[in-house]
Amino acid sequence: MKQIQTLTLAGALAVSAAVLGGTPSYADGQMKVAMITHGQPGDSFWDIIRKGAEAAAKKDNIQLIYYADPTATKEAQLISNAVQQHVDGIAVTLAFPDAEAAAIKEAQAAGIPIVGFNAGADDWKKLGISMYVGQDEVIAGAAVGDKLNAEGSKSAICVDQQQGAVQLEERCDGIKKTFKGALYVLYVNGYDMASAKARITAKLQQSPDVDYVVTLGAPFAPTALDAVGEAGSKAKIGTFDLTPRVSDLIGEGKLQWAIDQQPFVEGYEAIDLIWLNKINGHVVGGGQPVLTGPTFVDKSNIAEVAKFAKAGTR
Amino acid sequence: MANITQTMSLRAPRRAVAHQSLWRRVLKRPEAGALGGAILVLIFFSIMAPPFRQTSAFMTVLYQSATIGIPAVPVALLMIGGEFDLSAGVAVTASSLVASMFATEVAGNAWAGVAFALMFSIGIGALNGYLLLRTRLPSFLVTLSTFLMLQGLNIAITKLVTGNVATRDIASMPGFSSAHAVFASSIRIGSVNVSIAIFYWLALVGIATWILLRTRAGNWIFAVGGEGESARAVGVPTRKVTVGLFMAVGFGAWFLGMHMLFAYDTVQSGAGVGNELLYIAASVVGGCLLTGGYGSAIGSALGAFIFGMTTEGVIYANWDADWFMFFVGAMLLIATVVNFWIRSRVSRGY
C-alpha cells in the first residue's frame, strides 16, 4: 500500500517534471500569448491550427500557451484563466460567443489585445474585438451549395460532428442558402467512427434519393465513404477541411473535393496579428475579417497540396 | 381405484406446476425485462419508421449494437463481480492506437501491432485490478483515474510518436489485408453485407453465458459480486477473480479496438471518451445490478441492442435531427421503465 503510494507519487512527479520541462521558460522581453479554442482533443484539424500558431510563435519569439475545450462554459473559463495569468495577448475561437462574452470583457478590461479566429465571423465585431482571421463559414457553405448545383445534385446530407457549434451550423446554413436541392442535417457523435458510420448508413437507407454527402469535418469523409458503400448508395462525397487520408482519397478519385480554410494560416495569422499589434499597434483587416478560405482542393490541384498534407501541416 | 384417482389427481397439477415454473424461470432471468424493452422498441420503430423494416437496416442496427455490445459483455461480467470499469471506452481507442503505432513505427507488420496491443490491453486490465486490490479504493475511483490518464496518454503519446493527433493510414502495411479479413470484414448474406463484428459479438455473449451459468468460474463471479467476504471465507479466490475480470474487460476493449483500427484504417486519438458509460448502461439496462452479484451477458447484449435500435431508429424515422439526443434518451427511459416494471412484477409473483 505504502509502496504503491510512493510509486504513484514518484510517477506523478516524473510526469509533471517532464511536462514542465518541455515548455520554454518565460524570459524577459518574450511575450506570452494564449491560444484558446473549442477544438476536441485529438482532432487533426486543431492540431494543424496549433502547428501554425507554434510556427508564428517561434518566429516572433512568443511563448505560446494552448488551451482547448469543446464545451461553451469551459472555453469561457479558459479565457478567464489566461487573463489571470496576465498574458500579453489572446487568440480565441468564438464558437460560443454568448458564453464567452463576459470573459472577453474581462480580458478587454485588463487591456489584453484579442484576435478572434476560426469561429465567430458574425460576432467578433459585436464583442468589440478588432481583428478576426478565418473563413466566413456562410460564404464557404454557399460555395459548397454552388458546387453541388453545378454537379447536378438534387438531395444532399450535411454531416455535423458537434451539435450546437455555431460555425458548423453556419456551414450548413450557407449550403442551404445556395443549394437548390433538399438538404438534410445529420448529427454524429464526436469521433466514434463506428457510430458515425452506422448513422450515415441509416440516413442513406432512409433517404435512398440522396446523391451527395458533405461532411463538415475531414476525419468523417472516409467513414462516409464506407457508409455509402455499405448502404449501396451512389452518393458522391465532399468534405470541409483536409487530412492526409482525405487528400489520398481525393487523389484516388474516391472523394470529389475538400473545401480548405487553411487552418495552418488561421493559427499562424492569429498569433502574428497579436504580435504586430503589440510591437507596432497595427490593426489588420480594416474592420473586415482576414480571410483564409474557402479554396477548393480537388483532383486538379491535389498533387501540390498532398505533400504538405502528408507532413500534417495542411 | 382409490389409488388410481390419487395418482391421476397428483399427475395433472404436477404438470401444471412444471409448466408454470418454466415460464417463471424464464421471467426470473435477469434479462427478461430487457427482452420486453427490446421487443417494445423493435415494434415501435417498425411501425414509426418504414425503412427500419428492411434487412439491410436491421444489419446497420446490429452493427451499431455490436460496437457497444462487444465490450459490454466483459463489462457486464465485471459488474456481476461487483466492480466498475470507467476506463473501457478510452481503452478501446488506446488499444487501436497502440496497435497502429507499434505496427507502423516499430514492427512493420499489422499482426505484430495486434499482438502487442493484446498484451497492452490485458496489461491495463491487470493494472486496474492490481491497483484496486492494493489501494482498496472503490473501483469507480481507480478506473476513473486510469480513464483520465489513458485519455491524456492517447493524445500525448500519439502526438509524440507520429507528430500528429491521428495515426497514419495502415491500409498498405504487410498483414493488413489478413487482419482486416479477421477483424473487420463483411460477409455477404443474400442481398446484405453483415459485419463480422456482429458474429463475434454473438459468440462472445454465448461464451460469457456459458462461463457464468455452467462453470465454477461463473459461480465465483456471482459469489464475489454478491458477498465478497463470505466468498473468500469459503475459499473462492476472490482476488484472482477480480483481476481476471478486469483483464477480460481489457480483452474486450482490445477486440473492439482491433475492429475499429482495421475498419477505419486511421485512429483519431481523442475517440472513445463517453463510450464507457454506454457499456455500463447496456449492462444495467440488461439487468445487471449496480451493486453486483446479479445480471447476465445476454442482458448486456439486449441492452446494447436497445441502444443500437434507438440511435438508428431515430434516423430511420426521420425525426428532426436537433432532437436526436432527446429522442434517444426518452426511448431508453421507456425501455428501462418497462424492463423494471416486468422485473418487479416477477419478483412480486405477478
Q: List the grid coordinates of A90.
A: 489572446
Query: Which pLDDT score, from 0 to 100, does residue A17 have?
Result: 46
Is B1 among the domain residues?
Answer: no
pLDDT per position as a tens digit, B93-143: 999 999 999 999 999 899 999 999 999 999 999 999 999 999 999 999 999
Q: What percent of chain B lies above the pLDDT cut of 70?
A: 93
| Mean pLDDT calculated for residue range B273-288 | 90
Q: Which of residues 192-231 of B touch A (CB under 8 A)?
A: 193
Shortest alpha-carbon distance between residue A222 and chain B (Å): 8
- Chain A contact set for B322 (CB, 8 A): 163
Domain ranges of chain A: 31-135+263-283, 137-260+298-310
Q: Does pTM surpass 0.95?
A: no
Statement: residue B201 has pLDDT above 90: yes
Q: Which residue has the higher pLDDT, A40 or B88?
A: B88
Cβ <8 Å between A44 and B318: no
Give the minimum alpha-carbon distance from B346 to chain A in angstroms, rounded to a whole number.
Answer: 35
Fold type of domain A31-135+263-283: Rossmann fold (3.40.50)
Q: Mean pLDDT, 10 residues at a time, over chain A (314 residues)?
A: 50 48 52 93 87 95 92 91 93 92 93 94 91 91 95 95 84 94 89 90 93 94 94 94 90 94 94 94 91 91 86 82
Which CATH number do you get for residue B197? 1.10.3470
Closest residue, chain B, to A169 (C-alpha): B322
Q: Is it true that A31-135+263-283 and A137-260+298-310 share their CATH fold?
A: yes
Cβ–Cβ gap A312/B318 under 8 Å: no
The rounded mean pLDDT for chain B is: 88
Q: Give tens-digit pLDDT for A155-195.
A: 999 999 888 778 898 999 999 999 999 999 999 877 789 99
Q: What is the pLDDT at residue B25?
A: 75
Is residue B79's pLDDT more than 50?
yes
Output the pLDDT for position A287: 87
The percentage of chain B sitting over the pLDDT mark of 90, rounded to a whole number, equals 56
pLDDT at res. B171: 85
Q: Does B188 touch chain A (CB under 8 A)?
A: no
List the 14-43 stretch of A: residues with Cβ below 8 A of B: 40-43
Q: How many structural domains compose chain B?
A: 1
Question: What is this model's ipTM?
Answer: 0.77
Interface contact B155-A42, CB threshold 8 A: yes
Task: Output the pLDDT for position B77.
Answer: 97
Q: If contacts are CB pairs under 8 Å, which of residues 261-290 in chain B contact chain A? A: 263-266, 268-275
Distance from CA of A312 to the nearest CA of B (A): 6
Contact status of A52 with chain B (Cβ, < 8 Å): no
Domain assignment of residue B5, yes or no: no
A204: chain B residues, CB-CB within 8 Å: none
Check whether domain A137-260+298-310 has CATH 3.40.50.300, yes or no: no
In a domain, B289, yes or no: yes
Q: Does B348 or A289 have the greater pLDDT score?
A: A289
Q: Give residue B45's domain range.
A: 30-347
Residues of chain B with Cβ-Cβ distance to A42 below 8 Å are 154-155, 158, 165-166, 268-271
Is the predicted pLDDT of residue B29 greater than 50, yes or no? yes
